[in-house]
Amino acid sequence: MSEPRTSRERYRAQVREDIKRHAWEQIATAGASALSLNAIAKRIGMSGPALYRYFASRDDLITDLVRDAYRSLADAFLARAAEGTDLPGLAGTLRAWALADPQRYFLVYGTPLPGYHAPEDTALTASEIMTVLLDACAAQDGPDTRPPGVVPPAEGYFAEHGEWTRGHPASPAARLRALTVWTRLHGVLSLELAGGFHGMGFDPAVLYAAEVESLMK
């Protein structure tokens, strides 16, 4: 996104950022499903109709928050990959990002908001994250020592269902590995952030590290 050039553009951008900041505060208190533009307008001393000049609807505001969240994680993954594409490093980046702002995490990876449908461009940003993960998983591919024609059913399935990779040349084995890594790490993170381990007497970081280690085997 280009930087605003005129004073009017800068003012509009600042107001939008203020609105989003209050939106995150409201989400942290009551959850995304309770997000109210009128409540935000009251907090910043603006009328409801005036705020709608900056965000046409609640969904419009949520979309901007979703875009920011995906962009933030994509940038974190790309920065980590620039230092070397490896699964433990990406796993650590994912956990650090999630713990830094649990509400941001749940907005994009938690329970979908009823009636809300994110636009296609958010999926494109999300695909940048998966591309970095696919790169890391593809780097783990070694020589195939299996007898010719012996392909595990799941790998055969993902050889035929690779639309989600958006043309990435990862092998079916790497595709399956990426999905396995993604689902297992999110499983631990979602439980941790939701308090699912509360009172169990162990450090979730140790469990997460053990999960990462098992995924490297």
Q: What single-letter amino acid sits at 116?
A: Y
pLDDT digits (tens, 9 = 90+) for 165-201: 999 999 998 999 999 999 999 999 999 999 999 999 9
Tokens at residue 26, please?
């409201």
- Put simply, whether the predicted model's pTM sits higher than 0.75 gets the answer yes
C-beta of residue 132 within 8 angstroms of C-beta of residue 81: yes
Rounded distance between C-alpha atoms, residue 97 and residue 93, angstroms: 6
Rounded distance between C-alpha atoms, residue 72 and residue 83, angstroms: 17
Tokens 């409201």 sit on residue: 26
Q: Which of 100, 99, 73, 89 is closest to 205 using CA atoms?
A: 99
Q: What is the pLDDT of residue 217?
A: 78
Q: Which of 177, 180, 175 is closest to 162 using CA atoms?
A: 175
DSSP alpha helix (H) spans, the chain: 7-30, 37-43, 48-51, 58-82, 87-100, 102-109, 120-138, 153-160, 172-193, 204-215
Q: What is the pLDDT of residue 3?
A: 65
Q: What is the pLDDT of residue 144?
A: 64
33 pLDDT tier (thresholds 50, 70, 90): confident
Cβ neighbours of 129 (radius 10 Å): 21
Q: What are phi and psi of 169, to 5 degrees?
A: -80, 15
